[in-house]
Chains A and B, each alone.
Chain A
């Protein structure tokens, strides 16, 4: 049974560009949450998608946006990239909004140069 799949695994972008990260949830899960983990820090909550709508949002600017598709997969989009956006982006899937039962993917390492 496949767990959470994130793509790409690594990405290098130039400041000012836009990026799209993708997440396929674990089979049976309908909720996707995105976290940003800067180097040497714990992950920070970006937002959560359930029933194709953004249900919760952390303290991140509007440059960060997302989408959930009918098959429950999700995308994270970041516009006007800043050097400070360099981080590991983790996707967690779950059945419902509770983090109990989260399954995390291995993340996408984004480097902004």
Chain B
């Protein structure tokens, strides 16, 4: 079974500053993927970034980067140069990729990010 823990229910950041959203995970699978999604008030889950468990480099996508520390089982999301439009709920999720494992996403409880002008 997989478990995702997001310990920050809410975070505030000043516009143009960087912010880190924490995520730790637990799994017995050797091959897995880690995902971050953004959910605005409209409800749609918007994919931000992906990290494979065997990827040696930390993933980056524009202003988003994933600080992957495999030994510590953490996958923190870093948003640089925050914008007002970044205000939303952010979810960390994972899926096993091992043969025979169920290919489904397990989500954390989320972090509500508010960007202040």
**A binding-site residues for B, Cβ under 8 Å:** 33, 35, 40-45, 48, 56, 58, 88, 90, 92, 97-100, 102-107, 109
Contacts and interface: CB of A to CB of B under 8 A. Distances in A.
Given A98-B95, A99-B33, A99-B35, A43 B43 contact: no
B18 interface: no
Contacts of B108: 42
A41 B109 contact: yes
A45 B35 CA distance: 15
Contact of A42 (B44, B93, B97, B102): B93
Contacts of B35: 99-100
A106 B50 CA distance: 21
Nearest to A57: B102
B103 to A, nearest CB: 4
A58 B104 contact: yes
A107 B37 CA distance: 15
A57 to B, nearest CB: 9
